[in-house]
Amino acid sequence: MSFDGLLGKRVKHDITNAVGNVLLPAGFVIEQEHIKLLEQHRVNASEVIVMMGDYRSEVHHAQLTLISDAANYSKDLFNRLGGTKKMPLLEIKNELIPIIQEASEYPDVFQLFEAVSAKDEYTHQHNIGVGVLSTLLGKWMGLGQTEITLLTLAATLHDVGKVRISSEILLKPGKLTDEEFAEMRRHTLYGYEILKNTVGLSPRVAQVALQHHERSDGRGYPLRLKEEQIDPLSKIVAVADVFHAMSSKRPYHEALPFHEVIEQMRRGAFGELDPHVSATFLNKMIQHLVGRRVKLTDGQWGEVVFINPHDDLHPLVKISESFIDLSEERQLHIQEVIV
């Protein structure tokens, strides 16, 4: 098959070069300029798998439906747990976890993230967002299916202890007092208590609820554990938790711009978050910028056409018929990724 037969088609999977860099992300429409790029990188046209129809639109709708169903279930679960200590484990495994795993199967990373971004009812959307992102990250890290299933469950229930935190604290629009913040931190202990007493649940799920705010340098909470003491699943959930929280609108602050989230997380990858887990997640997110429409901090709109391997957060952006190299225009950054 020649590339000419692929014009106008949407790719089913990421197309990468010989060293693994993403040339065209899944769901992207192949145009003439992209064919030149693929030929330059010696990509074999016969290996490119395409989708028929308006795949991206259909996928986005399916994702939104799945995430909405999962968030509604999470809300109902929290309401029920508020009046009882019994965790409906079998129901969660049979009804909620399959939804989250299915949502994580969609190849368009930024559509997926848009679907799980919290715009309202942060607590419930956050549970699902962290579940989906952790599952995706576990796959990127090469975990086996059994481990991924355990990770999905642990990530989705990581904040279950918040059922014991008053709504006045959870939904407070301003800064928490010292006493309120201390109580908020106890959600890790509350969650551990709920989950460790749940019959049939792996102890590691309770460990994730306890440890997802621990940090490699020992400055986390509640036990101030250090890197070697933290469960590997907790390290994955911690990265997903931080990314989702910083990227979402919360009662006490707006979502941060894309470039600020990446920069802050990279700074935290040395001493706070596990560097290998963080690098895997952030590098994958940045690679999937290729072909994406973005809004820059000066208000201009463009399309990312090339990721600079030496400065990947400052890619080459096409705006109309011209190009802006963000590695040279250091005052400009990616404000928003458009889905």
Residue 117 exposure: Cα atoms within 13 Å on the Cβ side: 20
Fold of 55-287: Hypothetical protein af1432 (1.10.3210)
How many Cβ atoms are within 10 Å of 13's Cβ, its own excluded?
Answer: 15
Intra-chain end-to-end CA distance of the chain, in Å: 30
Rounded distance between C-alpha atoms, residue 196 and residue 173, angstroms: 32
How many Cβ atoms are within 10 Å of 6's Cβ, its own excluded?
Answer: 20
Q: Which residues of 41-73 are buried (b: 16+ CB within 10 A; e: fewer)?
A: eebeeeebebbeeebbeebbeebeebbeebbeb
Taking a C-beta distance cutoff of 8 angstroms, is the pair 316, 308 a contact? yes
Model pTM above 0.85: no
φ, ψ dihedrals at 295, nearest 5°: -110, 125
Q: What is the largest CA-CA distance in the chain?
A: 66
φ, ψ dihedrals at 273, nearest 5°: -85, 155
- Read off the DSSP letter of residue 5: G
Nearest in space to 239 (alpha carbons), one of 260, 262, 257, 256 = 262
Please state the length of the chain: 339
Rounded distance between C-alpha atoms, residue 335 and residue 134, angstroms: 24
Tens digit of each residue's pLDDT, the chain (339 residues)? 566 667 777 777 778 888 777 787 776 777 777 777 888 888 887 777 665 444 455 556 666 777 778 888 888 887 787 656 678 888 899 989 998 998 888 767 777 777 777 555 677 788 889 999 999 999 999 999 999 999 999 999 999 999 999 989 988 888 899 999 999 999 999 999 999 989 999 999 999 999 999 999 999 999 999 999 999 999 999 999 999 999 888 777 788 888 999 999 998 766 799 999 999 999 999 988 988 889 999 999 999 999 998 899 999 999 988 999 999 999 999 999 987
DSSP string, 105-158: T-S-HHHHHHHH--SSSHHHHHHHHHHHHHHHHHHHTT--HHHHHHHHHHHHTT
42: left (phi > 0), else alpha (psi -120 to 50), else beta? left
What pLDDT does 49 receive? 66
Rounded distance between C-alpha atoms, residue 107 and residue 246, angstroms: 23
Angle at 330 between CA 324 and CA 335, to 5 degrees: 75
Domain regions of the chain by residue span: 3-41, 55-287, 289-337
Between helix 275-287 and helix 232-247 the angle, nearest 10°, is: 50
